[in-house]
Amino acid sequence: MLDFIAGHANYWLFIVLMMTGLYIVVAKGNLVKKIVGLNIFQTAVFMLYISSAKVAGGTAPIFPTDSKGYIKTDGIDQIIYSNPLPHVLILTAIVVGVATTALGLALTVRIREEFGTIEEENLVEIEQSLTRADNKAHGEAMGGMA
């Protein structure tokens, strides 16, 4: 059992990172901390995906050529190639993650400019007070028309 746990240490690390990121997103009220938690979770998923794509003894999927540039056909069956697709997908996901983080931070800056806070509790209170004021104004407008 200990060999199993030690042999899969990277997966245990990914689980710890994922749960840490999820905890930060759920438990923290600060919007910047939530974005950091999402980034930790996202990084754990990237590492998990790349780690599971590792092929023991695998080499880059580049076919060997001779001095003239022709592909050698002898011995190709014995070569084990790694799959490049997971790495390409993660590279794309990293770019999307950076763009998403930038958008989240830009929205956080805009929220701070508009409401003066980035704490979730304060934003909920502001939303509730605005909703009450809007409902009161709407009720007065409807009452004035009757």
The model's pLDDT over 39-95, given as tens digits with 9 standing for 90+, comes to 999 999 999 988 888 778 877 777 766 666 666 666 556 777 788 888 889 999 999
Residue 25 near residue 120, CB atoms below 8 Å = no
DSSP alpha helix (H) spans, the chain: 2-7, 9-27, 31-52, 85-115, 120-145
What is the DSSP-derived secondary structure letter of residue 57?
T
Q: Does residue 146 carry a pLDDT above 70?
A: no
Angle at 16 between CA 13 and CA 19, to 5 degrees: 150
What integer pLDDT is reported at residue 109 of this predicted model? 97
Question: Dihedral sign, CA of 29, 34, 36, 37?
Answer: positive
Domain boundaries, the chain: 2-55+82-119
Does CATH number 3.40.50.2300 belong to domain 2-55+82-119? no
CA-CA distance, 101 to 103, in Å (whole number)? 5
Q: Which residues contact residue 108 at a Cβ distance below 8 angstroms, ignoring those fewer than 6 apart? A: 31, 32, 35, 118
The model's pLDDT over 102-130, given as tens digits with 9 standing for 90+, comes to 999 999 999 999 999 999 999 999 999 99
The mean pLDDT value of the chain amounts to 87
Q: Which of 133, 113, 115, 136 is nearest to 124 (CA)?
A: 115
What integer pLDDT is reported at residue 95 of this predicted model? 96
Residue identified by tokens 């590492």 is: 47
What integer pLDDT is reported at residue 110 of this predicted model? 97
